[in-house]
Amino acid sequence: MKLTEYDISNPFTATVTQSERITDENTDEVRHINLRVEHPSFNFIEGQSVGVLVDAPPVFGNEHYMRLYSIASSRMGEEQDAAEISLCVRRCFLVDEISGERYPGVVSNHLCNAQPGEKIKMTGPYGRHFMPPRDNTCNLLMIGVGTGIAPFRAFLKHVYEDRKEWKGKVRLFYGAKTGMDLLYLNDKNGDIATYYDEATFKAFEALSPRPHFDEPADISATIFDNAAEAWDLIQDLKTHVYISGLSKLEEDLDKVFSVAAGTPEVWETVKEELIEQGRWSTLFYG
Ligand SMILES: Cc1cc2nc3c(=O)[nH]c(=O)nc-3n(C[C@H](O)[C@H](O)[C@H](O)COP(=O)(O)OP(=O)(O)OC[C@H]3O[C@@H](n4cnc5c(N)ncnc54)[C@H](O)[C@@H]3O)c2cc1C
């Protein structure tokens, strides 16, 4: 769905209550931002996104710049306060390929610059195709890169804090450029590491083989190294697969799972079945 097709006719405000940089100063800036939503009927489920609106100068024709951000909290809200949600936002830049100049992305910079007390204009929530199953005996296979971790933080909070007991296996394959970029799994913020003690949870981390060349994390290699674990889960009818992050990830996964399946054709058939059964959900950021 194109951004222009989202209904933004009922915007509301949210106040920033906290903004914390969750990556080291030596790497890209990503912030965990808490917001208090001022909208009495606002409710959401894990995997949904909000729209953030920034006023645009009248010369551009559109009234607003609008971008989507995954809610990183579970439906119970941050600290079990349903009016408080969190976002995980990377400060983005557009790079002019000819001049090499960097221009700040409007909406991510607006969010990353916002100080506690500032108001943010929002819409939504949107999307109900990427949500955890109700049955707590289901397995969750979550595969993500970069800020694609945001909905998985929400899933894990739901599974282990709201639901208290989750009997199915919960597996997270997560990739980032360096250890410092492993969001919610680094020294700055270890929210997700707190679930390592859960008997049903296991996380597999993937890092870039050449971070100085800005190469992405080699998540395929990590899945390849743990192919038996991932492939066994995929074949289990109780497993739901979730993929989140940049869209190139799906291409990489197709290659890995083609090897695991024996041929690309067999993998294509398995994937079609997963999609038909509602067990393969994707959330791509660009
Ligand atoms: C469903 C959905 C959920 C999203 N959730 C999040 C989220 O939780 N956190 C988040 O930071 N972004 C998220 N995004 C991306 C976000 O909507 C914006 O595209 C991003 O913040 C850039 O907007 P901008 O106005 O700052 O810059 P723009 O001028 O729109 O883009 C600047 C540049 O950044 C690149 N870029 C955009 N997003 C990313 C990213 N996440 N990682 C690396 N490069 C990127 C773009 O390709 C572009 O080259 C999501 C996108 C979608 C479609």
Q: What is the CATH number of the domain that holds 150?
A: 3.40.50.80
pLDDT tens figures, 7-36: 999 999 999 999 999 999 989 999 999 999
Question: Residues 97-105: what's their mean pLDDT?
Answer: 92
pLDDT at 20 (0 to 100): 97
Domain end: 82, 102, 126, which one?
126
Whether residue 265 lies inside any domain: the answer is yes
Secondary structure of the chain as H, E, C letters: CCHHHCCCCCCEEEEEEEEEECCCCCCCCEEEEEEEEECCCCCCCCCCEEEEEEECCHHHCCCEEEEEEEECCCCCCECCECCEEEEEEECCEEECCCCCCEEECHHHHHHHHCCCCCEEEEEEEECCCCCCCCCCCCEEEEEEEHHHHHHHHHHHHHHHHHCCCCCCCEEEEEEECCHHHCCCCCCCCCCHHHHHHCCCEEEEEEECCCHHHCCCCCHHHHHHHCHHHHHHHHHCCCEEEEEEECCHHHHHHHHHHHHHHCCHHHHHHHHHHHHHCCCEEEEECC
Question: Residues 247-263: what's their mean pLDDT?
Answer: 90
- 136-145, 171-180, 215-224, range with the lowest pLDDT: 215-224
Question: Are residues 279 and 144 part of one domain?
Answer: yes
Average pLDDT score, the chain: 92
Q: What's the 89 CA to ligand 1 centre distance in angstroms?
A: 8
pLDDT at 85 (0 to 100): 98
Question: Residues 73-97: what's their mean pLDDT?
Answer: 94
Whether residue 134 lies inside any domain: the answer is no
- Is the C-beta atom of 90 inside 6 A of ligand 1? yes
Q: What's the 140 CA to ligand 1 centre distance in angstroms?
A: 25
Which residue's alpha carbon is at the smallest distance from atom 18 of ligand 1? 67
Question: Are residues 162 and 101 part of one domain?
Answer: no
Look up the CATH number of the domain holding residue 91.
2.40.30.10
Domain end: 126, 150, 168, which one?
126
pLDDT tens figures, 54-72: 998 876 677 889 999 999 9
Whether residue 267 lies inside any domain: the answer is yes
Question: Are residues 143 and 88 part of one domain?
Answer: no
Question: Are residues 143 and 122 part of one domain?
Answer: no
Question: Are residues 268 and 143 part of one domain?
Answer: yes
Question: Are residues 115 and 41 part of one domain?
Answer: yes
Domain end: 101, 126, 151, which one?
126
Question: Are residues 280 and 144 part of one domain?
Answer: yes
pLDDT at 239 (0 to 100): 97
Whether residue 228 lies inside any domain: the answer is yes
pLDDT at 224 (0 to 100): 77
Q: What's the 130 CA to ligand 1 centre distance in angstroms?
A: 18
Question: Are residues 106 and 182 part of one domain?
Answer: no
Which residue's alpha carbon is at the smallest distance from atom 5 of ligand 1? 69
Q: What's the 159 CA to ligand 1 centre distance in angstroms?
A: 27
Has residue 120 got a pLDDT over 80? yes
Task: Please identify, by atom number, the ligand 1 atom nearest to the C-alpha of residue 108.
Answer: 26
Question: Are residues 255 and 158 part of one domain?
Answer: yes
Whether residue 52 lies inside any domain: the answer is yes
Whether residue 169 lies inside any domain: the answer is yes
With the most atoms of ligand 1 within 8 angstroms of its CB, the residue from 92, 183, 243 to mutate is 92
Question: Are residues 101 and 24 part of one domain?
Answer: yes
Domain of residue 200 covers 139-284
Whether residue 132 lies inside any domain: the answer is no
Q: What's the 70 CA to ligand 1 centre distance in angstroms?
A: 10
Name the pLDDT band for 213 (thresholds 50, 70, 90).
low
With the most atoms of ligand 1 within 8 angstroms of its CB, the residue from 8, 23, 67 to mutate is 67
Question: Are residues 151 and 44 part of one domain?
Answer: no
Whether residue 133 lies inside any domain: the answer is no
Question: Residues 220-246: what's their mean pLDDT?
Answer: 89
Task: Please identify, by atom number, the ligand 1 atom nearest to the C-alpha of residue 89.
Answer: 11
Q: How many domains is the chain partitioned into structurally?
A: 2
